[in-house]
Amino acid sequence: MLESAVQLLETLIVTPSFSKEEAGTADLIGDFLAENGRAFQRLGNNIWANHPGNQPGRPTVLLNSHHDTVKPVAGWQRPPFEAILEQDKLYGLGSNDAGGPLVSLLATFVEACKTQWPFNLVMAATAEEEISGKGGIEMLLPHLGKIDLGIVGEPTQMHLAVAEKGLMVLDITLAGKAGHAAREEGINAIYEALPALNWFRDFRFSETSQWLGPVKMSVTQIAAGSQHNVVPDRCTLVVDVRPNDCYSLAEILETIRENVKGEVVPRSVRLQPSHIRMDHPAVKAGISLNLPMYGSPTLSDQALMPFPTVKIGPGDSARSHTADEYIHVTEIAAGIDGYRAFLQALATQSGW
């Protein structure tokens, strides 16, 4: 299956698939499944297929990766929408994130459909991951039935991510009172923001995660004032919060509102941190294969999956969203072999 997986990746690279614009790559993925004898379904730009031997009452394992990409950054020395193979390196936008993991999972699924398993298998190639959009995995999940484990294909060097940081972006507004800057009048909203700035700089949540470390909060934007001679009556902050798996977003938001003056409004509380228990069959399978385990600081569709998940795939996250993105063909081969071995190890585990 390696040759057909690489050929599919080459066609995906030359077909632009920015988030919300993935119709072309969805067509290609559907064609690949059909050409390999697998019936599939489509919802928007999401494609999914079931193992023909799936049976009610058994655990269900979801194989998932995404086919949308970010837009190319400046600095590309090769055309981002050309699949250029130089020795073992396949260059092109989305080759590493997450084309390599996606085609490896698709190849694994096609081969897995020739074998019976003690669990059900569902393969889903989904859209809008790069923007955490509502037209991707979140829209598809209600159509898949109960999922007991998600295997999320992202470039992890085939290491097993057993936890992932979440994300919450806050807009905070501090109010003051306008006045003339030449006189002692008004309430300067910038000064009203100083206690909040100091609190975000100095506060530490007490629980530190074994896998993800502490909760990270960063004030990343600040805006105030209309002109030099007017005391500003409004100051806004944007805060990037990266929760660990010790806290829910609701718990973190409550703590912030208890300590920060002003209006605190989250843009979303959808992107939750995740972790999987250490005695889960997926973790035991990883241990049996001697897979390195870690906690991932980067966000994926794990954040939208309300069931146990692990993240694993060929490629390297450090190459994602970079100029001249690439993946090694040998990494794709190792991905197919690694996913197959993981399913086989998972099949021997109990404790679902």
Whether the predicted model's global pTM rises above the 0.85 cut: yes
Asked if the model's pLDDT at residue 263 lies above 90, the reply is yes
Q: 93: which DSSP letter?
A: T
43: Cα within 13 Å, side-chain hemisphere: 17
DSSP H stretches of helix in 46-188:
100-112, 137-140
pLDDT of residue 173: 98
Mean pLDDT of 292-306: 96
Are the C-beta atoms of 132 and 267 separated by less than 8 Å? no
Q: Which of 90, 70, 79, 73 is nearest to 9 (CA)?
A: 90
Q: What does the mean pLDDT of the chain come to?
A: 97
Are the C-beta atoms of 203 and 291 separated by less than 8 Å? no
CA distances from 148 to 51, 144, 274, 325 (A): 15, 11, 14, 33
* Residue 289 banded pLDDT, cuts 50, 70, 90: very high
CA distances from 127 to 22, 26, 76, 124 (A): 7, 9, 24, 10
Mean pLDDT of 3-14: 97
Q: Percentage of the chain surpassing pLDDT 70? A: 100
Q: What is the pLDDT of residues 228-244, one digit of tens each?
A: 999 999 999 999 999 99
Q: At what angle do helices 23-35 and 2-13 cross, to 10 degrees?
A: 160
Q: Report which of residues 1 and 256 the model is more confident about.
A: 256
pLDDT of residue 184: 85
Look at residue 332 and give its three-state secondary structure. Answer: helix
Q: What is the pLDDT of residues 158-217, one digit of tens each?
A: 999 999 999 999 999 999 999 998 988 899 999 999 999 999 999 999 999 999 999 999
For residue 251 the two structure tokens come to 């718990």
Whether residue 5 has a cis bond before it, omega within 30° of 0? no
